[in-house]
Structure 1
Amino acid sequence: MDRQRIFRVSIVGALTLAAICLTLTLLQQSLVPILVWSAPQLEAPFYDLGLLGAYRTQSYVSFDLNSPQASVVQWEDSCDYGFVFLDPSGPAVAHRGPLIIDAKGNLIWTSDQFETTTNQKLQQYKGEEYLTFWSGQKAKTMGTGAYYMLDSNYTVVHKVDAVGEGLRGDLHEFKITKDDTALLTVYNLTNADLTGMGWFRTENGWITDSLFQEVDIATGELLFEWKATEHFRAEGSYMTNPFGGYTAGIPFDFFHINSVEKDAQGNYLISSRHFHTVMCIDGKTGDVLWELGGRSEDFLDLSDGKASDFSWQHDARWLSEEEVLLSVFDNGVAWPHVDAPYSEGLVIKMDIENRTAALVQSYRSPSRPRSSSQGSVQPIKGADGEEHIFIGWGSSAAFSEFAVDGHLLCETHFTASASWWWERVKSYRAFKTPSWSATPAAWDPSAKIDGGNLYVSWNGATDVAFWELQGRNTDGDEDAPTDFQVVDVMEKDAFEESFALPTGADACSHYRVAALDHDHGLMRYSNIAIPPPPGAMSYVLAAVSAIAVIGAMAAFWLYRKRVAGWHVDWKQYTVDRSKYQKLW
């Protein structure tokens, strides 16, 4: 094939590909919205196929940040309560701060005042409720940062750091104990003997050690510390990394601790993702009291392996210490390792004395998320008063609510399920709480006028029940003490609401919005919003048009002057009318 033919084929192929992409884009932007408008039942499947965008976000007029535009794929009224706490991150997420939404995915609060956040939830400290999370720099599967505790005014009251020279708090855990202390995880680069792993590794290899610390929140004092390297060797890990361990730049993460919890006896329940085990650590000596899963034979599995064959797991918790019930999020996957067709939540009954374990219930989604990382399992009380299990699917951007018997009640996706494999959007954990009462101290409701409507929102305020639009006229005197009068009142249903502003004689020169609680009591006023003068946009368009016409005439005149010899001889177009005169 000659070069010209190759060139022609390449051009045709490129143009064909461009035409296909343009056609698909036009279909997505035009045909798909029309189909969804005409048949609303198509929205959920179109959303999960990515036809509405791989990661849809909702923008606002009165608020600068955006939020995920979620899709509720299954719903029962028993889920219609409370708030969901997420930390969206991933390559497709521009704003990776903390996020609170309602049960159906509507924004409640978000912030860009922090770096990447994880593990956001509500916790009790000295009888008070705090919004807590880790914030810092995330590097692949770990992070370096600190832990923040915010009160109900979104004010940082406590900041907790890891203790030790060069140690920084890791993203995986920040758990406040009943003793008002904090449990946190730390990942530390260190040397280790890796000759047992073979492949020419040496006694002076490099690993990432997994630590957890118990720290006094008030004083920052270190109360307890445990290191995986003092109890386990790297060759026991299920993780494989052919390049890990040779240099400090690529250490081998052999243990990977990802949850810590303290029980009533003062011992610690921890999860090792890369050992596939949940283990109990003696709270005084640091010795390993028992292990469940992995290569351990401490327990007899009474469920034919289903209680102990979890892998790459997260979020091991005592669901009930009295009943010795353990919950685990079983990932089953850690690319390139694929040990299960899907991820699931597990509840396991343990008999510590007789060393037996049995699977009580598993929780699986019909969407079959296969989360290669992250995830959480949380027991909650449903709106119907029944016990529910709330699951965050980690690297699969979704959360679900189940009845205790495994029946799926509700599920929400905050990105297209067709894109879960690519992990463009994720949330380390997801938590739900029945109540969170907060009123921001540092900012008021925000009001902005756009296109004849006034838009209002109040980021983070949970107790606003009504918006009251108020207006006044100053007759040109900005300092005139004219009182605001009530113009309209509406019930708050969404994060942002809008009022159609009155026109003509009813129009006002200034507007503001009052945030009212359920008893119509005043909470706070918004900023004052001033409408643009009537017809201002028409004046602007007229001025722009006039300038364009004048500019075009000036350019034409300059062109005539500067182009040599260019002129119009109008005489050549003079008509000799004499020959057309009527002859008598």
Structure 2
Amino acid sequence: MRYTCSVAFLLSYLTCMIVAAEKTPKYEYHGMRKFLTRPDIEVPTWKVSVYDEAKVAPGHWFVAPYEVNGNKKPGGSWIGPHIFDSTGELVWSGSHMFKRINVMDFGVMDVGGEDLLSLSYAVEGRGYILDKQYKVKQTVVEGMTGKTYNMHDFHTVENGSHFLYLQRNITHASAQLAKQDLGYDGECSVTFPGFEERDVKTGEVLFKWDATGKIPLSDSTLTHGPVENRCTGGAWDYLHSNAIDKLPDGHYLLSTRHSDTIYKISADDGSILWRLHGLGGDRSDFAMGDLKFSRQHDVRFREHNVTHLIISFLDNATGADPQPATHEWSRGLLIAVSERDMTAAVIASYDHPQHGKSYRRGSYQPLPNGNVFMGWSEQALHSEHTPDGKIVMEAVLTEHKLGTYRSFKFPFTADPQYPPDIYANASTFASITQTSVYASWNGATEVASWRLSKTDKKGEKSLPLTIMPRSGFETLITYDGYAKYVVVEALDINGRSLHTSDVAKTVASKNLDPDAVAEEQQWLHPESSSASAGSSLRGFGVFTGGLFCGVALLWGALFWKRRRERRRPRYERVAGEEEDETKMDELSHR
């Protein structure tokens, strides 16, 4: 076989450009990538900067891009849960699985001792658990409406045996409560946050809490504008809960963005045990020194000892409202809280890569190697930091219109049961015929290479052609020659077969070399070629046999005639002979 890289590249490039042009959507977004094998998938691309590769933790990125928060209608095929490798290459797109509608909090969590995919799907008011074949294994909070389901947090506690998730209750605070807390005369339309803890296996509600009557309206720091506007403008989101976690003593940590506060809530009676207020002062139950934070996200308990609780969160430090910033830029914070001395202090800080601000959303995740993975939300910017705060990697989407709620990094393996996807075309250029085959397998994490084989329409015969290392989500494999039907086989790092694609018919260009077509036809149907040749030989044999017989008969007739003539007696004409012959003729015609 003859392989010509330059021609291969040119042919595949031209094919990609032509097919992509035919499939260009009406909308225009920058930095989007399309695939020949999966024209239904379109993903944003990344700008990745690695500063110290040796210190970057292994793992995949878990990101759920969206355009507009709260969107309930299908968007582009880049909306929804996605997994990317550490270079920004797509591993899995779940966009169509979730109808191209926003999902939140997409990642991996321990469910009953097994690491599974999880996400919050607000449009249906429930959480989803997917197995490692990307099949729905469980849905949580069936029947809740989008108005009562709070998509901000959904995870497990108690070694994966219990779910924790947020709720919200839109109601009217009584005139008495509004007067007491706000000095407002009249009812006040308010969103009161809450949460539930449920058993993973049975779905039984183990604990349920609501802020109504427990956290006063006066705790809110979202207070710009007249109080009348807040109370009559429709469901004032006075707390805006965005994280819930459980402590070793059985009580709960609740983060509410619009009060800049982390609350400890009693598991006994639901009362507030203490407040850690980001603005400090009399509102906080702790002496905080120079620690200040605001509009925080992703509050989590990390560890504890006899004297301290260790808590992590993203300090957004500002919001989209007029409240002054509490720090020059957003940062991840790891703090120590002493419930004995009632003090709080910073242990470590992880700064925004550009010393910028995340005005909304974000995440903080410790990694197994000690690094910290920060999600900054805007353009899905995320960064990885060593324990001392040094940035070793950062990545950002090239499309500035997109964002994500949280970003995570996990080591993850998956084994899809559906076959790989394949697209093939063939053409002749500069007297060289080439088949270009594109292979992908959405969600597969263990593919190291692809084996290309040509086959027949039913896949009953096969001839291996080449093996090509996997190169990103979609790999180009070229073969010098024409293969009418092809299959690809996914191989792992040890060469073990993982799965085989369905048979694909190659799209042949109009300029395809007829000799290459004939050669492939002969390979596909060798018996037809043999039968055709045999038929021709038989025809030639009949013709030559008949000709030989004819010549032999003619020769035999001539030979017999000459022999008779040699045996006839010689004589001389005598008088009266003509008269006798004439007489004989007359007798014969009677």
Fold match (TM-score > 0.5): yes
Name the structure 2 match of 1:455: 438
Within 5 Å, which residues of 2 pair with 1:7-46? none
CA contact (8 A) 1:86 1:431 kept: yes
Residue in 2 that maps onto 1:579: none
- Number of aligned residue pairs: give it: 455
Question: Does structure 1 retain, via aligned residues, the 8 Å contact 2:440–2:474?
Answer: yes
Alignment of 1:76-91 (within 5 A): 76-77=52-53, 78-79=55-56, 81-91=58-68
Task: Pick from 206, 209, 225 the counterpart of residue 223 of structure 1.
Answer: 206
- Map 1:419-438; keep pairs closer than 5 Å: 419=400, 424-433=401-410, 435-438=411-414
What amino acid sits opposite 2:218 in the alignment?
A: E
- In structure 1, what residue type is equivalent to 2:321? P
Alignment deviations for residues 497-536 of structure 1 (CA, whole Å, 9 cap, x no partner): 0112322xxx222101001112211111112121234526
**Does 2:271 match 1:287?**
yes
1-side partners of 2:180 and 2:142: how far apart? 31
Deviation, structure 1 residue 244: 4.8
Q: TM-score, normalised by structure 1?
A: 0.73
Please give the per-residue CA displacement for 1:242-267, whole angstroms capped at 9, x wherever unaligned.
475444x7210001111111122111
CA distance in 2, matches of 1:236, 1:105: 42
The aligned counterpart of 1:141 is none
AA partner of residue 402 (structure 2): V
CA 1:534 to 1:252, structure 2 compared with 1: closer, same or farther past 3 Å? closer
CA contact (8 A) 2:255 2:263 kept: yes
The ranges of structure 1 where at least 4 consecutive aligned residues each deviate by more than 3 angstroms after the TM superposition are 162-168, 195-199, 241-247, 536-539
1:81 positional shift: 1.9
Q: CA deviation at 1:91?
A: 4.3
1:240 Cα shift?
2.7
- In structure 2, C-alpha distance between the alignment counterparts of 1:175 and 1:329, rounded to whole Å: 17
Q: For 1:529, which of 504, 510, 532 is the aligned residue?
A: 504
Q: Which amino acid aligns with 2:505?
A: I
Query: What TM-score, normalized by structure 2, do the two folds share?
Result: 0.73
Structure 1 residue runs without a partner (length 5+):
1-52, 138-143, 540-584
Cα displacement (A) at 1:135:
1.0
Counterpart residue identity of residue 59, structure 2: G
CA–CA distance in 2 between the matches of 1:436 and 1:156?
Answer: 17
Distance in 2 of aligned mates of 1:191 and 1:245: 12
1:174 matched to which residue of 2? 154
Give the aligned partner of residue 369 of structure 1. 356
- The answer to whether the 8 Å contact 1:147/1:169 transfers is no
Contact 1:187-1:208 at 8 Å conserved across structures? yes
Tell me, yes or no, if the aligned pair for 2:181 and 2:216 is still in contact at 8 Å.
Answer: no
Alignment RMSD (CA, Å): 2.5
Q: Aligned with 1:426: secondary structure?
A: coil
Deviation at 1:55, TM superposition (A): 4.7
Residue 126 and residue 239 in structure 1: after superposition, are their counterparts in 2 closer, same or farther (change >3 A)? same
Aligned to 1:495, which of 470, 473, 484?
473
Deviation at 1:82, TM superposition (A): 0.8
Offset of 1:197 from its aligned partner?
6.8
Match of 2:122 in 1: 136
* Pair 1:345–1:533, CA change in 2 (3 A): closer
The alpha-carbon distance between structure 1 residues 166 and 333, as it changes in their structure 2 partners (threshold 3 A), is closer
CA distance in 1, matches of 2:35, 2:145: 44
- Which range moves more in the overlay, 509-518 or 66-75? 66-75
* Secondary structure, counterpart of 1:336 in structure 2: coil
Distance verdict in 2 for CA 1:70–1:396, change over 3 Å: closer
Match of 1:40 in 2: none
Residue 346 (structure 2) aligns with: 359
Among candidates 175, 198, 213, match of residue 196 of structure 2: 213
- SS of the aligned residue for 2:249 comes to coil
Letter in 1 for 2:468: M
What is the SS of the residue equivalent to 1:213? strand
The question of whether the paired residues in 1 share the 8 Å contact of 2:112 and 2:200 is answered with: no
* 1:538-549 paired onto structure 2 within 5 Å: none
> 1:284–1:162: structure 2 CA closer, same or farther, 3 Å change rule?
farther
CA distance in 1, matches of 2:204, 2:144: 10
Is this contact kept in 2: 1:329–1:346, CA < 8 A?
yes
User: In the aligned structure 2, how far is the partner of 1:204 from the partner of 1:534?
Assistant: 73
Distance 1:61 1:164, change over 3 A: closer
Matched letter for residue 311 of structure 1: S
Structure-2 separation of matches of 1:151 and 1:412: 27
**Separation of aligned partners in 2, 1:234 and 1:283:** 22
Instruction: Tell me which of 21, 45, 65 is aligned to 1:69.
Output: 45
Q: Which residue does 2:86 correspond to in 1?
A: 103
* Alpha-carbon distance change, 390 to 483 in structure 1, aligned in 2, over 3 angstroms: same
SS in 2 for 1:459: coil
> Displacement of 1:450 after TM fit?
4.1
- Following superposition, the deviation at residue 167 of structure 1 comes to 6.5
State the partner residue of 2:521: none
Q: Alpha-carbon deviations, 1:51-110, whole Å to 9, x = none?
A: xx9851221111121222100134321226211111111249723210111112111111
Please say which structure displays the higher CA radius of gyration.
2
Distance 1:60-1:396 versus aligned 2 partners, 3 A rule: closer
Q: Out of 91, 105, 113, which is 2:97 matched to?
A: 113
Question: Which 5+ residue runs of structure 2 have no aligned equivalent?
Answer: 1-27, 70-74, 427-434, 515-590
AA aligned opposite 2:102: T
Alignment of 1:248-259 (within 5 A): 250-259=234-243
Residue by residue over 1:360-400, the C-alpha shift from the partner in whole angstroms, topping out at 9 and shown as x without a partner, is: 12111341231111111111024xxxx10110002352000
What residue number does 1:398 align with?
381
CA contact (8 A) 1:244 1:252 kept: no
Counterpart in 1 of 2:223? 240
| Map of 1:184 onto structure 2 | 165
TM-aligned CA distance change 1:208 to 1:168, over 3 Å: closer
CA distance in structure 2 between the aligned counterparts of 1:166 and 1:66, rounded to whole angstroms: 27
Structure 1 pair 362–54 and aligned structure 2 pair: CA distance change class (3 A): farther
Taking the aligned partners of 1:296 and 1:54, their CA distance within structure 2 comes to: 46
Distance 1:538 1:335 in 2: 64
AA partner of residue 371 (structure 1): S
Distance in 1, matches of 2:269 and 2:356, equals 39
Match of 1:346 in 2: 333
Q: How big is each residue's C-alpha offset from its partner over 1:150-200, in whole Å with a ceiling of 9 and x where there is no partner?
A: 01111111100168799742111111112511100012211114335769x
Task: Tell which deviates more after alignment, 216-225 or 265-274.
Answer: 216-225
Secondary structure of 2:505's partner?
A: coil
Counterpart residue number, 1:577: none
Cα pair distance change 1:270/1:496, threshold 3 Å: same
Matched AA of 2:265: I
Q: Separation in 1 of the partners of 2:329 and 2:237?
A: 24
Secondary structure of 2:447's aligned partner: coil
Structure 2 residue matching 1:195: 3-state secondary structure: helix
1: CA distance, partners of 2:493 / 2:508: 35
Residue 36 of structure 1 corresponds to which residue in structure 2?
none
Q: Secondary structure at the match of 1:333?
A: coil
Distance 1:408 1:534, change over 3 A: closer
Once structures 1 and 2 are overlaid, which stretch shifts more, 448-457 or 347-356?
448-457
Identity %: 28
Q: Is the 8 A contact 1:263 1:321 kept in 2?
A: no
Corresponding position of 1:267: 251
> Take 2:214 and 2:133, find their aligned partners in 1: how far apart are those partners?
43
Corresponding position of 1:518: 493
Distance 1:511 1:166, change over 3 A: closer
**Structure 1 residues 153, 327: CA separation in 2 closer, same or farther (over 3 Å shift)?**
same
Partner-residue secondary structure (3-state), 1:334 = coil
Q: Which residue of 2 aligns with 1:483?
A: 461
Q: In structure 2, what is the Cα distance between the partners aligned to 1:165 and 1:508?
A: 53
Q: Which amino acid aligns with 2:294?
A: S
Q: What is the distance in 2 between the residues matched to 1:283 and 1:231?
A: 13
My pick for the range that moved more, 54-63 or 79-88, is 54-63
Distance in 2 (CA, whole Å) between partners of 1:538 and 1:342 is: 63
Match of 1:20 in 2: none
